[in-house]
Chain A
Amino acid sequence: MFDLSFVWNGHSILFLILAVCIISGAVFMLNFSKIIHMVVSLAFTFIGLAGVYVLLEAEFVATVQILVYAGAISILMIFGIMMTKHDQLEEEPRIQWKGVFAAVGCLALFVAIFFAIRSTSFPTAPATGPLAEDNTLELGKQIFTAHVIPFELLSVLLTVAFIGAIVVAKHEDAEESEVVSSPSQKEAE
């Protein structure tokens, strides 16, 4: 169970670098006080995750990770700029013993995950050549044959959310224009 041997090759070194990027991005995200700094460190975490996907030869997932989350990052930034106050830095009331409880919790979580991973035997998939060759093709085949019903359900869900968002936005728009137009009507009366 405690076989801690570590193979030093290009893969593992790259993995270590990416892991440091991901974790430090996440830690900085929690510790920064300005919202823009938080969002930038979150972006580093996402890009690091994309790097891990590339290491696992899942190029499609890696590019989609960057495409979707980088877009989300810029939108997050805009919301961060528009909807928060920049002048005040948040000051939370300090709870005593918080750090100790957090440390104990972290340690317990680490031990649980560590033992779970160490005691699981991972089945090695039969080698069918390099994965990166056409994993996009294989993904497409899987989605449109074996998993077509969940895929369609998901797209229906997204469409519903999209239409719902438009309806909500339209509704607010109408209310606002009423509010804006009402004083002028009173003046006219």
Chain B
Amino acid sequence: MTELLQQALTWQNGLIFLGWAIVFLFIVLGFVTYAIYFERKVIGWMQFRHGPTRVGPLGLLQSVADVLKLLIKEDTIPQKADRTLFILAPIITFVPAFAVLAVIPYTPSLYFADLNVGLLYYAALSSLSTIGIILGGWASNNKYSLMGGMRSAAQMISYEIPLVISVVGVVMLSGGLSLNTIVEGQGNNFWEWNLLPQMIGFVVFMIAAVSELNRTPFDLPEAESELVAGYHVEYSGFRFAFFMLAEYVYVFAIASLTTVLFLGGWHPPLAILDFIPGLLWFMLKFVFVVFFLFWLRATMPRIRVDQLMSFGWKVLLPLALINIFVTAAYIELFLK
């Protein structure tokens, strides 16, 4: 992959890039299908239920059936809706979700782009999805969806700041914004990962990340009990599927980003386990983070709007700033 990326951009190479992007899109779609299945299974087991069991062996084809149902449903657009923006909103939400995956390195040789500003690229593009969500909320011409969209915007903007500031400590330790550099800066033992030295940063990052994903306990934009379904009340069929898809692709992205930034990427937890290929370690950590997100959803109640804002600005932001100062002092005192 590295050699391919350094060659000149000819038509042939361009087609190869496109082919890889399509292969990767299908891998991500496969992940989304089974992430939804596992989410329902895990939450089911945690609540003493079975989860899906009927479609296919062990219910394995449940998500496939759901997607098929969504695709063949009637495509409804409300008469009073703003037609153009209503159609555009799911696309604007989904495109950045897939585009951020380009900068994540899976192994030393398997990555799609080694951007010098990889981390900033992720933060910048993921903030574009907010526009799609507000647009969807506004274009539906429905008060519940508008309120959902507004909540989502307020929440995503106030939690993006702690999210970005909490990873500054990691950037300072590794001396680069490129995600490849950040993984290479971590070692082959679990105490050489960024997890333990950046414990505060990690906790702030995880909380802010769950909030960015609009998942429980921060799923206020789609709080069923208050807002029916939030910003996608009026959406059905494949347009609704696009919103769901964007949400789960962000789960993929955040789980990969957590693995890369704090859990050592492809590095094994102990140096003697180095014989196991890096991709496998990456996948193990990735699956653990995804499971953690499902676990949170099964066990946490939703928090209130006023708590949400004050928690973000009065707790997470100061903690993230303290983390930067402590890291800077540590680097000055011990690493120079």
A→B interface (CB under 8 Å): 10, 34, 36-37, 40, 43, 47, 59-60, 63-64, 66-67, 70-71, 73-75, 77-78, 81, 132-136
Q: Is the CB–CB distance between A74 and B120 below 8 Å?
A: no
- Assuming A60-B117, A63-B121, A75-B157, is B127 touching A37 (CB within 8 A)? no
Q: Is the CB–CB distance between A78 and B150 below 8 Å?
A: yes
Q: Is the CB–CB distance between B115 and A59 below 8 Å?
A: yes
Within 8 A of A (CB), among B131-167: 131, 134-135, 138-139, 146, 150, 153-154, 156-157, 160
B→A interface (CB under 8 Å): 9, 82, 85, 88, 115-117, 120-121, 123-125, 127-128, 130-131, 134-135, 138-139, 146, 150, 153-154, 156-157, 160, 177
Closest Cβ neighbor of A135 among chain B residues: B116
Cα–Cα, bound, A75→B139 (Å): 16
Q: Is the CB–CB distance between B116 and A73 below 8 Å?
A: no
Q: Is the CB–CB distance between B124 and A77 below 8 Å?
A: no
Contact partners of B146 in chain A: CB under 8 A: 81
Closest Cβ neighbor of B133 among chain A residues: A74
Number of A-B residue pairs at CB separation under 8 A: 74
CB distance from B226 to the nearest CB of A (A): 19
Q: Which of B9, B85, B128, B160 contacts A36 (CB 8 A)?
A: B85
Contact partners of B177 in chain A: CB under 8 A: 136
- Assuming A63-B120, A71-B157, is B131 touching A77 (CB within 8 A)? yes
Contact partners of A34 in chain B: CB under 8 A: 82
Closest Cβ neighbor of B89 among chain A residues: A40
Contact partners of A133 in chain B: CB under 8 A: 116
- Assuming A10-B9, A36-B138, A77-B131, is B153 touching A60 (CB within 8 A)? no
Q: Is the CB–CB distance between A67 and B120 below 8 Å?
A: yes
Q: Is the CB–CB distance between A81 and B150 below 8 Å?
A: yes
Q: Is the CB–CB distance between B117 and A59 below 8 Å?
A: yes
Closest Cβ neighbor of A39 among chain B residues: B131
Q: Is the CB–CB distance between A74 and B130 below 8 Å?
A: yes
Cα–Cα, bound, A129→B125 (Å): 28
Closest Cβ neighbor of A81 among chain B residues: B138
Cα–Cα, bound, A43→B124 (Å): 13
Q: Is the CB–CB distance between B120 and A60 below 8 Å?
A: yes
Q: Is the CB–CB distance between B117 and A67 below 8 Å?
A: no
Q: Which of B116, B120, B123, B134 contacts A77 (CB 8 A)?
A: B134
Cα–Cα, bound, A59→B177 (Å): 12
13 pairs, CB–CB < 8 Å, chain A vs chain B: A63-B117, A66-B127, A67-B123, A70-B124, A74-B127, A74-B134, A74-B157, A75-B153, A75-B157, A77-B131, A77-B153, A78-B134, A81-B146
